Structure 1
């Protein structure tokens, strides 16, 4: 199971890098979203996907799951949601002000 999720995280990373290198602002934003989702899966996989009881200590012994990867992922989801909303607002404002979302035209390259 960890192998499949590792492959899925790699596919998300490669798709994210491809989108980050595009010329349109929306594709760059989609690339950052995919990169954060790949990081979430990577953190979850590094925390080992094992089943067990919730980490509530009782007198009975047993396998417990580690709550730290889930806590890190929840924090990362909140941060990536904030960053995504900020990037979408900035891209919307930039497209309205400049009438384009092409990165080459926004840089002011004169050879086009």
Structure 2
């Protein structure tokens, strides 16, 4: 799978996951998309940013191609690099849950 597509596929779901740890930054992203973030409740920020990013991906022709991923294995997930930068803890199980949301 091309690196850019992998990033585009994952970004909406990763932003949804980290939203509770960085609500102000998520609000800013929502506003970049021309939406008023002040009317979005804090617990709904992740879902809103995910929706906006998925719509953006679709508008530029990026939709998940489920044929690219046949099997998601915990052994293939290199979570350590995410843990170094993530504003919210992400273990292998959390990473797998995100991948399952993307490719199921």
The two structures have a TM-score, normalised by structure 2, of 0.33
Which structure's CA Rg is the greater one? 1
Q: Higher relative CO (CA 8 A, sep ≥ 6), structure 1 or 2?
A: 2
